[in-house]
Structure 1
Amino acid sequence: MNNKILINKMRDNAELAQAAYGYFHFIGKNFSNKEEYKDKKDTEITQTDILDITYNGYEVKDTGLIFDDKLKGDFTPTQAKRFFSRYDLLIHQPNTESGFSATLFGEKRKQKNTESKLLKELQCF
């Protein structure tokens, strides 16, 4: 296997693992209306905002939680947009009482078989 393909696969898997820890239960809630939040003040939170490091530490309005009511994204803005251009957020299960949580992503690009996918990747390089 070509080193570049292998590196890209490892990057993709690392991003998926990293994104799985996003606080996606905040989707649809609003940022707090603090002055330092400027254009995001009192606006709805999107899935890209949750992973974006720009909003790391921003408080979420009316979460009903005592702790963890701040975003903790660690993707660059471009990385977060690129991630969601490739993957759909299918299901997010926030922490249960036992501490279980899970996030399921689906790849947007559908292939009929893995051979055609590999051939397309090789042709791109």
Structure 2
Amino acid sequence: MTNKEQIKKLRDNAELAMAAYGYFHLVGKKFDNKDEYNDRKNTEITLHDILDMTYKDYVTSNHTTLINPEKLKGDMTPTQAQRFFSRYDLLIHQPNTESGFSATLFGEKRKQKNTESYL
């Protein structure tokens, strides 16, 4: 494996680790109706929004408590989030259970040809 291939593999694994901690249970909820949210006021939260640092600390409109509102915590740049979801599908997300367990499963989008994978 060349240095370039190894760096690419490390980058991909780091992005998967970052994305695994996304608050995907917020998908489908709406952004709060705050003036600073501009064109995103009362619009639905998408997969890209969850990882996009542009929307970090934005609050949902339908959170259940005033003391601890649901906030987005994305750490990827908009381009990085777009590139991530062009390569991976979110297969399953298990939000926190009562015991604190949560999990996210991503699947790589591939084109199959004669059992060989191509990107």
Residues 1:42 and 2:42 aligned together: yes
Map 1:41-120; keep pairs closer than 5 Å: 41-65=41-65, 67=68, 69-111=70-112, 113=115, 116-117=116-117
TM-score (norm 2): 0.91
d(CA) in 1 for partners of 2:68 and 2:99? 17
d(CA) in 2 for partners of 1:68 and 1:101? 19
Q: Which runs of 4+ in 1 moved over 2 A?
A: 63-68, 110-113
- Measured at CA, do residues 5 and 68 of structure 1 come closer, stay the same or move farther in structure 2, by a change above 3 Å? farther
Structure 1 or 2: more helix by fraction:
1
Q: What is residue 4 of structure 2 aligned with on the other side? A: 4
Give unpaired runs (5+ residues) of structure 1: none
Shift of 1:61: 1.2
TM-score (norm 1): 0.87
The farther-off stretch of 56-65 and 72-81 is 56-65
Preserved CA contact (<8 Å) 2:28 2:44: yes
Structure 1 or 2: more strand by fraction:
2
> How many residues are paired up?
117
The one-letter code sitting in structure 2 at the alignment partner of 1:4 is: K
Give unpaired runs (5+ residues) of structure 2: none
Q: In angstroms, what is the RMSD of aligned CA positions? A: 1.6
User: What do the CA deviations read for 1:80-110 (whole angstroms, capped 9, x no partner)?
Assistant: 0000000000000000000000000000114
- How much identity, in percent, do the aligned residues show? 68
d(CA) in 1 for partners of 2:92 and 2:64? 21
Map 1:13-52; keep pairs closer than 5 Å: 13-52=13-52
